Amino acid sequence: MKTYLVGGAVRDDLLGRPVIDRDYVVVGSTPQEMEALGFRRVGADFPVFLHPESHCEYALARTERKTAPGYRGFVVHADPDVTLDEDLGRRDLTINAMARSEDGTLIDPYGGLADLRAGILRHVSPAFAEDPVRVLRVARFDARFGFAVAAETRTLMRSMVAAGEVSALVPERVFAELDRALAEPHPWLFVEVLRACGALAVQFPEIDRLFGVPEPLLHHPEGDTGAHVLLALRQAARLGLTARARFAVLLHDVGKGLTPPSEWPSHKGHEARGLSLVDAVCARLKVPSEHRALARAVAGCHLQVHRALSLRPATVLRLIEAVDGFRRPERFQEFLGACEADARGRSGREDAAYPQAAWLKAARDAAAAVSGRDWAAQGLAGDRIQERIREARRRIIGRMRPVP
């Protein structure tokens, strides 16, 4: 038996990036031999084992054969006669189809190193088309590296979408890929790649329909809500927002996709329409509740945040309460970051000041210091204490109001 380091560990090492996970392929062995050596089997469908000391994953070399639509319809063949080249040939991209032998020799049968140096995402073989998850993975890797997708790979991805393969993906997997992509350095590229191959319209129609919907030209020279969302995602990455906040940025203007053309470009009432679409997206993709809460807050309240410096104290208090900012300060901070990304997500405004965020955070922090203990000591309880707390908070916010 021979052991090889494979996949992302080889790729990241060649890029000079930290290697987080190390996965290995074992050629010429059997499950029985692996278990006899102390490896613990963990793969129900695939012959994958954990090393008894390092706990790294070791998988027997295998090939796969497509037997049904979707990404689960495969028959796996793992046998001592499966070669390393055959195992690497079933992988998605050439940059992920390299290996290192135990003496450090690079094995690169599909040109992965050349593509890595050229910054190209290229599929290994026509077998790429057998797994629709790979369409999302290409988009996610583009969000990570900012590489170009090879022309032949783009063509293959479009044919997979046209064949209905992408429609077979389960919601949990779609959201998992989206969530990981949003955390990458170039999250907007995930959207661009999926849109180019038609997968955005299949899995994220609420986002796809924003392209071609006009924005007020005074504020957005591109005149396209989809372009604005991509610019806002750029700003979200630049501001270092969490993946959850970036998800909220992605969905913050979805209501504009339902604006009747007669109401362009004002998009009057798009916030209410947006809330229903945010709920629909989150239900369909089985999104975590905290993601949904933040996305609803941003979709429904971001315009108020933009006007925060001119709002009445009572309105500011209701805004903080609507986001549950007193009980969840971290959510409130993510909320403000998403609103700032929206404001800066317009050509010529990328470096514009956004004092609204700092002022609202200061107002929230000052108002949060109000305690009901003194009123409780006076014998008040329940709703009466809450009324006193809200009134005290309103007065504090009023005293903090910026000078017009």
Mean pLDDT by 10 residues, the chain (404 residues): 94 94 93 92 82 91 69 68 92 97 96 98 94 96 98 98 93 97 98 98 96 67 82 97 98 89 68 90 97 97 94 96 96 98 91 95 94 72 84 93 60
Q: Is residue 329 a part of any domain in this protein?
A: no
CB neighbourhood size of 212 (10 A): 12
Q: For the chain, what's the residue count?
A: 404
Q: Is residue 303 a part of any domain in this protein?
A: no
Q: Is residue 51 a part of any domain in this protein?
A: yes
Strands 62-66 and 57-60: unpaired
Q: Is residue 108 a part of any domain in this protein?
A: yes
Question: For residue 217, what pLDDT is reported?
Answer: 45
Question: For residue 94, what pLDDT is reported?
Answer: 98
Domain encompassing residue 44: 1-113
Q: Is residue 355 a part of any domain in this protein?
A: no
The count of C-alpha atoms lying within 13 angstroms of the C-alpha of 223, restricted to the half-sphere facing its C-beta, is 5
Comparing CA positions, the residue from 381, 364, 363 lying closest to residue 372 is 381
Q: Which sign, positive or negative, has the C-alpha torsion 162, 165, 168, 171?
A: negative
Residue 92 belongs to domain with CATH number = 3.30.460.10
Question: For residue 218, what pLDDT is reported?
Answer: 37
Q: How many domains does the chain have?
A: 1
Q: Is residue 6 a part of any domain in this protein?
A: yes
Q: Is residue 24 a part of any domain in this protein?
A: yes
Question: For residue 77, what pLDDT is reported?
Answer: 76
Angstrom distances, CA of residue 143 to CA of 12, 64, 316: 15, 28, 36
Q: Is residue 80 a part of any domain in this protein?
A: yes
CB neighbourhood size of 8 (10 A): 17
